[in-house]
Amino acid sequence: MTDCIFCKIAAGTIPANIVYQNDDVLAFRDLNPQAPTHILVIPKKHIATTNDITAKDAALIGQMYLAAKQIAKDEGIAESGYRTVMNCNRGAGQTVFHIHLHVLGGRQMNWPPG
């Protein structure tokens, strides 16, 4: 999608601090971090919200979690703990309509979330 900021990051036309990528997924540091580690894992393919995920995307979504696991290890937060979050639609706080898995850690994460 030409007007999607995360598609532009995936295409390399907007810069990002990339920490992990393979053929299908990309991970980069959040511009406005909410924790000492705050990384976004995205599929390179455009999917607007979790409501738009189909059965054909199952392996791709699995790859996002495998990337999150590797990133947590690389960031040194795998054992202390981290949170993975995907916000769906505005009521949940989604502002960029290309799915992204937030990987947050490096501080105590509270529950319930806001």
Residues belonging to the active site: 100
3-state secondary structure the chain: CCCCHHHHHHHCCCCCCEEEECCCEEEEECCCCCCCEEEEEEECCCCCCHHHCCHHHHHHHHHHHHHHHHHHHHHCCCCCCEEEECCCCHHHCCCCCCCCEEEEECCCCCCCCC
- Indicate which single residue of 57, 60, 94, 106 sits in contact with ligand 5GP (rule: CB under 6 A): 94
* 37 is an interface residue for ligand 5GP by CB under 6 A: no
Q: Contacting ligand 5GP (CB under 6 A), which of 2, 3, 23, 32?
A: 32
User: Which residue among 83, 98, 100, 102 contacts Zn ion (CB under 5 A)?
Assistant: 98
Stretch that binds ligand 5GP, among 48-56, 58-66, 68-76, 93-101 (CB under 6 A): 93-101
Sole window of 21-29, 62-70, 88-96, 98-106 interacting with Zn ion (rule: CB under 5 A):
98-106
96 binds Zn ion (CB under 5 A): no
